[in-house]
Structure 1
Amino acid sequence: MTHAFDDETLAGVLGHMNSDHSDDNLLIARAFGADEAPVGSRMVSFDGDGGDWVVTGAGGATSELRVPWPGGSITERREVRREIVALYDAACARLDIEPRPH
């Protein structure tokens, strides 16, 4: 069964990702989404199996994107950061972009 994180954890991670890492959200959408040139991406949820984004295309249409955690299922808050960093690194590799240091 997929682990569900509590509301406080969800709010903290989503707030951080959407305010401090909007460029990373867009990078993840470019690497793993169907639209190769999205203009916006916002992380809207996550659970023990992966993260969820709403991606906005150039024409304004939105789509949902679900990306599994690279390291597999997780159950602890501290693991969320590790998996988002791994997802960022995987997105950089997929797009042939040099990742910034962590």
Structure 2
Amino acid sequence: MSSPFTADAVDAIKRHMNDDHADDALIIVRGLGGRPEATTAVTSGVDGEAIEFTVDGGEQVRVAWGESLTERAQVRMAVVRLYRDACHELGIPARGEH
């Protein structure tokens, strides 16, 4: 699949997600990726249509953005949206929400 993001951008996004947002990735996988029992989720790919995670050390799970992304700057807001949607789906409060 073609990606609007350069390889360097994808690597930077994956590194940032894995270093700073591993817990958020797991929430996204549990709430939107169809794997409520998952114990780990490592961001393994990003393209214009979805973000991909390696779940529990093996299975690949893609979670669609819900829209086509064309610029790297869109990724942050798309991840935040997925995180909030996943929290809602799981019935847990998102950070910053009371």
Which structure 1 segments of 5+ residues have no match? none
Q: Which whole-Å CA distance do the structure 1 matches of 2:3 and 2:70 have between them?
A: 6
Aligned with residue 68 of structure 1, among 64, 67, 78: 64
Q: Which whole-Å CA distance do the structure 1 matches of 2:75 and 2:42 have between them?
A: 16
Which structure 2 segments of 5+ residues have no match? none
Match of 2:94 in 1: 99
- After TM superposition, the score normalised by the length of structure 1 is 0.86
- After TM superposition, the score normalised by the length of structure 2 is 0.89
Q: Which whole-Å CA distance do the structure 2 matches of 1:97 and 1:2 have between them?
A: 35
Whether 2:13 is the aligned partner of 1:17: answer no
Match of 1:79 in 2: 74
Please identify runs of 4+ aligned residues in structure 1 that moved more than 4 A: none
Give 1:25-40 correspondences, 5 Å limit. 25-40=25-40
Match of 2:48 in 1: 48
Q: Which whole-Å CA distance do the structure 1 matches of 2:62 and 2:30 have between them?
A: 13
Match of 2:6 in 1: 6
Aligned pairs, number: 97
Question: Over aligned residues, Cα RMSD in angstroms?
Answer: 1.8
